[in-house]
Chains A and B, each alone.
Chain A
Amino acid sequence: MSPADAPPPKGRRPPDELEVRGIPFRDETEAARAAEAVSERPVPARRITWQKFTVLPSVVALILLATWLWFRGARLDSIARNAIGGGNVWLRLEQHVHLTVVSTFFVLIIAIPLGVLLTRRPLRGAAPVAMAVANIGQATPAIGLLALLVIWLGIGTKAALIGIVVYAVLPVLANTIAGLRAIDPLLTEAARGIGMSPVGVLGRVELPLAVPLILAGVRTALVLNVGTATLAYFGGGGGLGDLIASGITNHRMPVLVLGSVLTVALALLVDWLASLAELLLRPRGLEGGD
């Protein structure tokens, strides 16, 4: 057993583990070194570091800069110029952001209240049904769902928007239900014990405890929706999918790459903003817990 061989895996380490390790086949020095290794690791503080603020935006900025430099040198024919000229790129970007924001708003005002309702006593029986539906929903391909809605409602932004919302509601709902259920029943019992009304328990105990979870739901919805919004093009909803699709169908690589890079940059930035919000808005008392 050389020293380089197998440093103990980090992670969950039971407090009594050192003794188990020390007794049978370790000599003094090795046990002592293991003890040091344990004491060296303080509980990591879940604070915002400067890396969190800077790394991702600078990477995105670099990608955009590189794409722009490459794009200036790329040779564009009339088809490619048509696809990106006349402010079309801005229009598509704007549509994409609009689709993402509006659909996220609807996802949240549908999924979170529904999740709260489904964890109340009278409706608790319906929660497994909702979870089962959510599971089947996950097996449904987004593009198929969107296409069915377009056939049903006609082509346009409305069908695309509904498709995006329906696709994201189920995962956020499942998360909300799981999170509200995971709240220690002792806490809600204690709140009821000191005379809080059901509404008081919900508003002053359960929802504050569920804030991290709700923020995680916001992030999930945003990231999912940026992705599904690329498919909105196939339903006539516009968005950056337009550039990608016309790049593929017309075999114009500059258009395709521009659309893809903008979509990737948008997705990364949205996720980054949501992760910052998650850190900043988390109640102080819950820090350290996950």
Chain B
Amino acid sequence: MSFWEYVGSRHAQLLADTFQHASAVFQCMVVATLAGVAIGVATYRSEWAGNLAVTAGATLLTIPSLALIGLLVPVTGLGVAPTVTALVLYGLLPIVRNAIVGLRGVDPALVDAAKGIGMSRAARLFRVELPLAWPPILTGIRVSTQMLMGIAAIAAYASGPGLGNEIFRGISSLGSVNALNQVLAGTLGIIVLALGFDAAYVLIGRLTIPRGIRA
């Protein structure tokens, strides 16, 4: 069976897996982004707390994903729970780091000017600091998403959702006619999803980065 015949005959299953993969990554990214920016906002003012958050993040990032999932399984059981936990944890790290770097990079004179025209703490944060720190945060989101695409594939081994199932089905039936097709469909599907998300982020950047700081 050629690859296209395989895709044609299994398109329902493949579409379902693709959708699950995309939706798992997307939902985890939403949670990771909100939590990551919140951690960044909470810690960037203190040298100590900010550096701790960055160091802790960098350390967690060195942990291989299969090992983290392996540590989560005894706690959460198999399936969606360890997948979501691992994805959110890994997704957090680049966002926290970039949020802290971005917020610290905002020119203090601008924040002072905002203070001078009577903006409250919250208004300064939401109308001055976060918009100025948005480009590095968005870069962090892009990096996270690319990483999560691959990690979600590995999480399928712990019965997680998505295209990784296709790849592992291929691995477990090595030598059979469809092994190559299954692995190829899963891998290409993830690449296409990752590139699609990346293109969406470029578009989001165009629409949301304030005109004044656009490169």
What separation, in Å, do the CA atoms of A12 and B133 have in the docked complex? 14
Q: Which residues of B have CB within 8 Å of A112? A: none
B191 at the interface (CB under 8 A from A): yes
What separation, in Å, do the CA atoms of A14 and B184 have in the docked complex? 53
Take A17-B108, A268-B59 as given contacts and tell me if A151 and B180 are in contact as well, using a CB distance cutoff of 8 Å: yes
A247 at the interface (CB under 8 A from B): yes
Chain A nearest CB from B148 CB (Å) reads 10
What separation, in Å, do the CA atoms of A241 and B66 have in the docked complex? 8
Contact, CB under 8 Å: A268 / B63: yes
Q: Which residues of B have CB within 8 Å of A245? A: 157
- Which residues from 128 to 186 on chain A have a C-beta closer than 8 Å to any C-beta of chain B? 136, 138-145, 147-148, 150-151, 155
Stretch of B26-34, B99-107, B202-210 that contacts chain A: B99-107
What separation, in Å, do the CA atoms of A138 and B144 have in the docked complex? 11
Contact, CB under 8 Å: A9 / B104: yes
Contact, CB under 8 Å: B105 / A21: no
Residue among B45, B59, B115, B183 with the most chain A CB within 10 A? Answer: B183
Take A9-B45, A248-B157 as given contacts and tell me if A151 and B164 are in contact as well, using a CB distance cutoff of 8 Å: no
Contact residue among B65, B71, B179 (Cβ-Cβ distance under 8 Å from A151): B179
Stretch of A83-91, A199-207, A210-218, A253-261 that contacts chain B: A253-261
Contact, CB under 8 Å: B107 / A14: yes
Stretch of B2-10, B12-20, B167-175 that contacts chain A: B167-175
Contact, CB under 8 Å: A8 / B190: no
Produce 1/0 per residue, B75-115, CB < 8 A to A. Answer: 00010000000000000000000000001111111011001
B212 at the interface (CB under 8 A from A): no
The tally of residues in B whose CB lies under 8 Å from a CB in A reads 52
What separation, in Å, do the CA atoms of A244 and B44 have in the docked complex? 37
Chain B nearest CB from A258 CB (Å) reads 9
Contact, CB under 8 Å: A9 / B186: no
B195 at the interface (CB under 8 A from A): yes
Q: Which residues of A have CB within 8 Å of B47? A: 10
Stretch of A101-109, A225-233, A277-285 that contacts chain B: A225-233
The tally of residues in A whose CB lies under 8 Å from a CB in B reads 57
Take A147-B167, A248-B157, A268-B63 as given contacts and tell me if A9 and B187 are in contact as well, using a CB distance cutoff of 8 Å: no
What separation, in Å, do the CA atoms of A264 and B186 have in the docked complex? 27
Chain B nearest CB from A231 CB (Å) reads 7
By beta carbon, the residue of chain B nearest A8 is: B108
What separation, in Å, do the CA atoms of A230 and B106 have in the docked complex? 40
A123 at the interface (CB under 8 A from B): no
Contact, CB under 8 Å: A261 / B64: no
Q: Which residues of B have CB within 8 Å of A241? A: 66
Q: Which residues of A have CB within 8 Å of B190? A: 139-141, 144
Take A257-B71, A261-B71 as given contacts and tell me if A143 and B191 are in contact as well, using a CB distance cutoff of 8 Å: no
B154 at the interface (CB under 8 A from A): yes
What separation, in Å, do the CA atoms of A1 and B187 have in the docked complex? 56
Contact, CB under 8 Å: A244 / B67: yes
Take A227-B64, A264-B71 as given contacts and tell me if A151 and B183 are in contact as well, using a CB distance cutoff of 8 Å: yes
A50 at the interface (CB under 8 A from B): no
Q: Which residues of A have CB within 8 Å of B116? A: 24-25
What separation, in Å, do the CA atoms of A226 and B65 have in the docked complex? 10
What separation, in Å, do the CA atoms of A263 and B62 have in the docked complex? 10
Q: Which residues of A have CB within 8 Å of B153? A: 141, 143-144
What separation, in Å, do the CA atoms of A155 and B170 have in the docked complex? 13
Residues of B that sit less than 8 Å from A by CB: 44-45, 47, 59, 62-68, 70-71, 73-74, 78, 103-109, 111-112, 115-116, 121, 146, 149-150, 153-154, 157-158, 164, 167-168, 170-171, 174, 179-180, 183-184, 186-187, 190-191, 194-195, 198
A-B contact pairs, 29 of them (CB 8 A): A1-B115, A6-B111, A8-B108, A10-B47, A11-B105, A20-B112, A25-B116, A56-B59, A136-B195, A140-B190, A141-B187, A141-B191, A144-B183, A148-B180, A148-B187, A150-B174, A227-B62, A227-B63, A227-B66, A230-B67, A248-B70, A253-B73, A259-B67, A260-B70, A263-B63, A263-B67, A263-B70, A268-B63, A271-B62
Closest 9 CB pairs of A and B: A144-B187, A260-B70, A139-B194, A227-B64, A11-B104, A263-B67, A141-B150, A141-B153, A147-B183
Known contacts A142-B154, A148-B180; 17 further A-B pairs (Cβ under 8 A): A6-B111, A6-B115, A14-B107, A14-B109, A138-B146, A139-B146, A139-B190, A140-B150, A141-B150, A144-B187, A231-B154, A248-B78, A248-B157, A257-B74, A260-B68, A263-B63, A268-B63
